[in-house]
Amino acid sequence: MVEVVTSVGLPIDEKLIIKKNRILPFNKDFTDMKRISVVTGIHGDELEGQYVCYELQRRIDLEKDKLKGIVDIYPAMNPLGIDSITRGIPAFDLDMNRLFPGNKDGNMTEYLAAGIIEDVKGSDCVVDIHASNIYLTEIPQIRINELHEDILVPLAKEANVDFIWVHGASTVLESTFAHSLNSIGTPVLVVEMGVGMRLTKEYGNQMVEGILNLMKNLGIWEGEVGKIKKPMISRDPDDVSYLNATASGLFVPDVKHGKRLAKGELIGKIVDPLCGKVLDEVRSPQAGLLFTIRDYPIVDEGSLMGRVLNEEVCIYE
């Protein structure tokens, strides 16, 4: 059942409309039913969640009689951004994920943000799916504000991701969608996976399995669920090493992300296409898991090349 979440008028008699698809069980008594919300498209250039929305609904339709709760699918929170393949809201040059919780008496973007929060709040669990930007590729992970880890980490363990990254509070902006809802008691899991402007079907299928497993744990789903991964969990900022380019040039990787690395192992080279020279070798500063790698090959000095999770954390709780 497609519903309008919120809308606002645009110039020349057009409207910006944000929609959701509410999937209900055959049982018509919805009293005290649990609800899960799947949100994506807050950033218009992050498309990994689009496939998840499609595949999740396809899987539910195959066993609709197993659905025992409410599933709300929000595939395009920033429809103008998705249409124009831009991260923020076009024409306004605004990052939508810096506008929450919004204000119903505010400007157009604040009004939209407030309408979204009003509609999503009260969910028993919200899965907010993001991709990386066009420069980096990430393994499926959930990032959590340490202020809410007691509630969110147990949920995240059921979501079939490879890695749970618990950040300090200072790394999470109060104006994000997730922080705004977590602060009022609606639990939100922020998923980062894949790369901007593209789809990684393998990761999408992995996330669908995780959402179905979350639904099963919440009593929303009684259908089949595949094998669920046990995630690695990091709570110490020193667990992660950041690899930054020491020169400008072309990055040529020698390994794929998700690889276990030895200390000093070659990750890739920065080369000069004009002179045919190697400008620098990018090597792992520690033994561990390469969970982020540079996907866009042109780099400037200081560009992020990757992230390595310490080997001691690469165990499954």
The CATH number of whichever domain residue 120 belongs to comes to 3.40.630.10
Same domain, 156 and 274: no
Query: How high is the pLDDT of residue 313?
Result: 87
Indicate the helix (H) or strand (E) that contains 186. none
Count the helices and strands in the chain (H runs, E runs).
6, 17
| Angle, CA of 79, 184 and 7, to the nearest 5° | 25
**Mean pLDDT confidence for 193-207:** 97
Which of 211, 233, 255 lies at the terminal end of a domain, its last residue?
Answer: 233
- Is residue 317 a part of any domain in this protein? no
284 and 139 in a single domain? The answer is: no
If pLDDT is split at 50, 70 and 90, which confidence band does 174 have? confident
Q: What is the pLDDT of residues 89-146, one digit of tens each?
A: 987 778 999 999 999 999 999 999 999 999 999 999 999 999 999 999 999 999 999 9
Residue whose tokens read 């009689």: 65
pTM of structure? 0.95
CATH number at residue 255: 2.40.50.100
| Residues 6 or more apart whose Cβ sits within 8 Å of residue 11 | none
Q: How many domains does the chain have?
A: 2
Residue 60, pLDDT score: 97
Question: Has residue 317 got a pLDDT over 50?
Answer: no
Shared-domain flag, residues 20 and 64: yes
Residues 227 and 244 in one domain: no
Same domain, 154 and 275: no
Do 174 and 279 belong to one domain?
A: no
The rounded percent of the chain whose pLDDT value lies above 90 is 87
- Residue linked to tokens 């949100």: 39
Give the mean pLDDT of 141-166. Answer: 96
Is there a domain that residue 34 lies in? yes
Q: Does residue 148 lie within any of the structural domains? A: yes
Asked, for residue 315, whether it belongs to a domain, the answer is no
Burial class of residue 183, CB neighbours in 10 A (0-12, 13-18, 19+): middle
Q: Please indicate, yes or no, whether residues 213 and 137 belong to a single structural domain of this protein.
A: yes
- Pair (286, 162) in one structural domain: no
Q: Where a domain ends, among 179, 199, 233?
A: 233
In a domain, 152, yes or no: yes
Instruction: Summarize pLDDT for 218-259 with one digit per residue, the tens.
Output: 999 999 999 999 999 999 999 999 999 999 999 999 999 999
Same domain, 12 and 68: yes
Q: Which residues, 6 or more positions from 25, have their beta carbon under 8 angstroms from its beta carbon?
A: 33, 64, 67, 68, 69, 70
Task: Give the domain-ending residue among 233, 261, 291.
Answer: 233
- Looking at the structure, do residues 145 and 274 belong to the same domain, yes or no? no
pLDDT tens readout for residues 44-100: 999 999 999 999 999 999 999 999 999 999 999 999 999 998 999 987 778 999 999
Length of the chain: 317
130 domain residue, yes or no: yes
Boundaries of domain holding 81? 2-233
Pairing of strands 277-283, 298-299: unpaired
**Paired sense of beta strands 163-167 and 232-234, if any:** parallel
DSSP 181: H
User: Rg for the chain (alpha carbons), in Å?
Assistant: 20
Q: Would 125 be classed as within a structural domain?
A: yes
- For residues 113 and 182, membership in a common domain is answered with yes
> Would you state the torsion angle of the CA atoms of residues 310, 312, 315, 317, taken in this order, to the nearest 10 degrees?
-110
Considering the domain boundaries, does residue 273 fall inside one?
A: yes
48 and 88 assigned to the same domain: yes
